[in-house]
Structure 1
Amino acid sequence: MDYDFWNNCWLRPTQPFHLSQAHHFLVKYYQQYFDGKDKVLLPLCGKTRDLLFLSDQKIDAVGVEFNQHAVEEFWKESGIRPEITKVDNGVRYDAAHIHLWLSDFFQLHKKDTGSFQLIFDRAAIVALPLELRHKYASHLESFLSPDGQILLVTMDYDPKEMSGPPFCISERDLHELFPHAEITELDRHSILDSHPRWKELELSYLNEILYKIRLKH
C-alpha cells in the first residue's frame, strides 16, 4: 500500500473519497442490513461521517485508520472528546458507540475487536494495489462471525482512462478474492459529478457499486 500517497491526500483541503455526510449506500440500506446490529467494522475508514451516523443509531462503530491526521480531524470536526488508550498495535479512541483505532489494519485482529455480523468496506479495497488485495480479503474475513456478511463498495471505470488509486475492481475480481463466498450486486451509482477531482480526470463513466458478500459454510 502506498502510505505516502494517502498521507499526502489527507493533507489536501478536500478529498474526493471523503464525504461531508454519511455514505448514500449506508443511508439507503440501513434498515435492511445495519438496523439491529450491535456493532459494525469500518476498515481504512479515514474520517468518515459513517461513524457518527451509526453511533447515532446506537450501533457501535469500530473504525480502523492508519493516518493520524485523518483520525485527529475526525474528533476535531465531530466535537467529541474521546478516551485515548495506547495499545501494542496502535492507539484506540473510545467514545459513546464509536471506537476508532489508529492502527495498521493488518496489525489488528479479532482478539482486539471481537467478531462482527457486518463489515462495511466503503473505500478500503479500492485503495489497495493488486498485491495486497488477497491478504486484505483474507484478513477481512477473519473478523466475521459465522453468520456475518460484508457490504463492500467498489469503483467501476474504464481502466484505460485511469490507473488508480482508487482502483477499478470488478465482480470477477471479487470472486477471485473471496472464492468461498456468495457475491450479489445490490446497487450502483454514478459519482462522476460528485467532486471536481473526478471531473478533472475526464472519465467516460465512474460508478460506485455495492456488493453483498456472504461466506459459504
Structure 2
Amino acid sequence: MTDWHSRWQNNKIGWHADQVNQNLIDYFSKLDLVDGDKIFVPLCGKSVDMFYLLKRGLRVVGVEMSEIAIEQFFSDNKLEYSVSKVNDLILYEGDRIQIFCGDFFTLEASHLVNVKAVYDRASLIALDKALRQKYVNHLNDIISKDVRVLLLTLNYPQHQRVGPPFAVSKLEVDLLYGGSFQCQELQNISDIENEPMFLLQGVDFVEKAVYCLQKVRI
C-alpha cells in the first residue's frame, strides 16, 4: 500500500492509459447494460474508462487507495464532488459516480447495492499470485448473483519480468473464477509488438485476453 501511494505521489503511473480501452468499447455490449445501470470498477485509479462509462449513461462505483488518483479524476474531467466518511472508507461522490477511497477488502455488499456489472481492466493483474484468490473470493462475496464481469488480462513468462502487471493465464482465470462464475473467453491475441517495455526486458511473448464472466452461484 505504501508503494502504491508513493507511485501516485511521484507520478510514477506508467500503467495509466490516456485513451479509453479499445476492448471496453468493443465488448461493452457483453455486459448487457441499459441507461441508469450501475457498474463497479475496482482499483480504478483515475481511469478515463470511468468517464466513458458515465457518457454511456451508466452510474459508476469505484474503489481506489490513493486520494491523489481520485481527486485527479474529478479534476481532469471537470466534475464536481463531495467528500464524506462511510465507515472506514472515504466517499467521493459526484453526479452518477461514487469512488470509495480505501482498501478494496473493506468494501461490503452494502456499498455495491444494485451493481449490475464489473469492469476489471487492471485489478486482477495488479495483484501478485498470493492475493489473487483472496481478491476473487471477496469480489464474489460483495456482488450479487447474475452480475457480469468484463475482465482483461495479460499473460507472459512471469520469470522474465517483475510485475505489476502480473501474468495471469487462461488456466488461472478458470481456476480462480470457475467455482462461482461462468467464464467465456472473448479474445486472446499475441501483442508483444505493442509492448515495447516488455520487449526491452527480454519477454518472449505477451498474450492479451478478454473474458466475460457471470456470477452463477452465491
Shift of residue 157, structure 1, vs aligned partner: 1.1
TM-score, normalised by the number of residues in structure 1? 0.88
Residue equivalent to 2:131: 132
Distance 2:168 2:88 in 1: 29
Give RMSD over aligned pairs.
Answer: 2.1
Unaligned runs of 5+ in 1: none
Aligned ranges for residues 38-187 of structure 1 at < 5 Å? Answer: 38-180=37-179, 181-187=181-187
Assess if the C-alpha contact under 8 Å between 1:52 and 1:98 holds in 2.
no
Residue equivalent to 1:22: 20
Aligned in 2, Cα 1:97/1:158: closer, same or farther, shift over 3 Å?
Answer: same
Task: State the SS of the aligned residue for 1:93.
Answer: strand
Aligned pairs, number: 215
Distance 1:120 1:87 in 2: 23
Distance 2:29 2:182 in 1: 21
Shift of residue 59, structure 1, vs aligned partner: 0.2
Aligned in 2, Cα 1:97/1:189: closer, same or farther, shift over 3 Å?
Answer: farther
Distance 1:30 1:151 in 2: 8
Larger mean Cα displacement after TM superposition, 199-208 or 53-62: 199-208
Shift of residue 216, structure 1, vs aligned partner: 3.4
Assess if the C-alpha contact under 8 Å between 1:55 and 1:97 holds in 2.
yes
Assess if the C-alpha contact under 8 Å between 2:145 and 2:216 holds in 1.
no
Task: State the SS of the aligned residue for 2:167.
Answer: coil
Task: State the SS of the aligned residue for 1:177.
Answer: helix
> What is the identity, as a one-letter code, of the residue corresponding to 1:214?
Q
Identity percentage of aligned residues: 27
> What is the identity, as a one-letter code, of the residue corresponding to 2:47?
T
TM-score, normalised by the number of residues in structure 2? 0.88
Aligned in 2, Cα 1:129/1:32: closer, same or farther, shift over 3 Å?
Answer: closer
Assess if the C-alpha contact under 8 Å between 2:42 and 2:119 holds in 1.
yes
Aligned in 2, Cα 1:60/1:85: closer, same or farther, shift over 3 Å?
Answer: same
1:48-76, Cα deviation, whole Å (9 max, x unpaired):
01110011111001111011221121122
Aligned in 2, Cα 1:169/1:14: closer, same or farther, shift over 3 Å?
Answer: same
> What is the identity, as a one-letter code, of the residue corresponding to 2:15?
F
Residue equivalent to 2:214: 214
Which runs of at least 4 in structure 1 moved beyond 6 Å after TM superposition? Answer: none
Task: State the SS of the aligned residue for 2:147.
Answer: strand
Distance 1:100 1:8 in 2: 20
Shift of residue 93, structure 1, vs aligned partner: 1.2
Aligned in 2, Cα 1:65/1:124: closer, same or farther, shift over 3 Å?
Answer: same
> What is the identity, as a one-letter code, of the residue corresponding to 2:146?
D
Aligned in 2, Cα 1:53/1:191: closer, same or farther, shift over 3 Å?
Answer: farther
Unaligned runs of 5+ in 2: none
Assess if the C-alpha contact under 8 Å between 1:16 and 1:197 holds in 2.
no
